[in-house]
Amino acid sequence: MKHKILVVSSSYPKFKGDINGGFVHELSRRLINEFDVFVVSPWEKGLLKNEIMDGVCVYRHRQFIWNVKLAYGIGLFENFKKSPLNYIFLPFYFLFQLFAIIKICKLEKIRIIHTHWLIPNGLIAVIYKKIFNPKVKVLCTIHGSDYYGLNNFLGNFLKRFTLKKCAKITVVSEALKNDLLKNYSVKEVFVQPMGIDTNLFAPIKYNHFLKEKLNIQGPFLLFVGIIVESKGIKNLIDALTDVLFEFPNLKLVVVGEGEQKKEMIENVQKIGITDSVLFVGKLEQLELSKYYATADIFILPSKSEGFGLVYAEALSSGVFTIASDLPAVHDIIEDYQTGFFLKNIDSKTIAKKIIEVINNKEKFLFVKNNGRNHIVDNFDWEIIKYKYINLINKLVSN
């Protein structure tokens, strides 16, 4: 008989191929040969309350008494930043998720709870453990925003309380592990990032017709991420005036949504580069893989990252990748070996780096090859899956 695991996440695909919490689903579905996997995630209007997705039993809980959208779109923490009034709904979100955990754990006799994000999901899981089921073991995966956010007295207290009650803790980067060990009394932390489907995100997904569809005549520059200030999108757009002077046919394609999208479109119009920037919104994974593999350069001048999943997807796809020089990204990129770092993320530095890479594409061909090999050897889902299987088995045996 398989052991049963409950995965608790504030983000999960609404439908097959959806990118919301896609990595949570990818890990969950890869565990079903070893465990019976159940998922608790938020519900919103239009979604099924219960369904089976790729063999994973998904149960969705309300976020409030009536339909509100806290957990999807730009994400839970970004939604709170966007509108502090959303904090009014937070106690209800906690209660509905707690009730869902109580129900599923009792119904399915769950022994292990795997939470994604320390706050709120890890906190709610350990409250369930403390009050209702002391025997259940909580494995918490910290992704970054959940750790670096809520840096105040109450937030730090809740993080410390949650970490103390978890049986095992995983993080997505060495930098996050070092920070956690430095600031909290945690005995053991495992670095186990989310994986990459290296068959999906692969150079073979190059699509010449995509360039025709997007009317790209010159270099193809790609940005994938939430369109918010912290992802550096404004500086990237401002950098284009210098880049276009060298490469007038270059086009930047922006994949994603976010609160600054309208502002960025207006900025593009204001500086007169409308024909050189294309906003395509969110894309499903299969379509996104074509964009990565067909692009000449992927760039994300982000101010902070917990891991940098999109960098890994880009490298796996065989595209030149330009990243911010952030500690968490050092697990993925080695400068001028697997990708390229921006020492600063001002528009002039960004422009110089883009021009340098375009002008030396043949010279830097080995960088693309190294990047792809590095991801296949270290971050493929098959590798990550077995790390989680071994860790969960240790929890069960103990």
Q: Do 140 and 240 belong to one domain?
A: no
Which positions ≥6 away from 293 have C-beta within 8 Å? Answer: 201, 202, 203, 204, 205, 206, 207, 317, 318, 319
Q: Do 129 and 218 belong to one domain?
A: no
* Tens-binned pLDDT, residue by residue, of the chain (398 aa): 789 999 999 989 988 878 788 899 999 999 999 999 999 999 988 889 999 999 999 999 998 877 767 666 555 666 666 666 667 778 888 999 999 999 999 999 999 999 999 989 999 999 999 999 999 999 999 998 888 877 788 889 999 999 999 999 999 999 999 999 998 888 899 999 999 999 999 999 999 999 999 999 999 999 999 998 899 999 999 999 999 999 999 999 999 998 899 999 999 999 999 999 999 999 999 999 999 999 999 999 999 888 899 999 999 999 999 999 999 999 999 999 999 999 999 999 999 999 999 999 999 999 999 999 999 999 999 999 999 999 999 998 87
pLDDT of residue 83: 66
Q: Do 46 and 112 belong to one domain?
A: yes
Backbone angles phi, psi at 272, to 5 degrees: 75, 40
Total number of domains constituting the chain = 2
Q: Which domain holds residue 265?
A: 203-378
Q: Model pTM?
A: 0.89
Q: Do 233 and 367 belong to one domain?
A: yes
Q: Do 364 and 282 belong to one domain?
A: yes
Specify the CATH number for the domain of residue 321: 3.40.50.2000
Question: CA end-to-end span of the chain, whole Å?
Answer: 17
Q: Do 120 and 255 belong to one domain?
A: no
Report the C-alpha gap between 389 and 31 in whole angstroms. 7
Q: Do 224 and 303 belong to one domain?
A: yes
Q: Do 162 and 208 belong to one domain?
A: no
From 211, 255, 214, select the one nearest 236 (Cα to Cα).
255
Q: Do 190 and 273 belong to one domain?
A: no
Q: Do 352 and 241 belong to one domain?
A: yes
Length reported for the chain: 398
pLDDT of residue 79: 64
Q: Do 276 and 363 belong to one domain?
A: yes
Q: Do 107 and 210 belong to one domain?
A: no
Q: 182-214 burial by CB neighbour count: b if 16+ within 10 A, else e? A: eebebeebebbbbbbbbebbbeebbeeebbeee
Please give the structure tokens belonging to residue 281: 């919104």
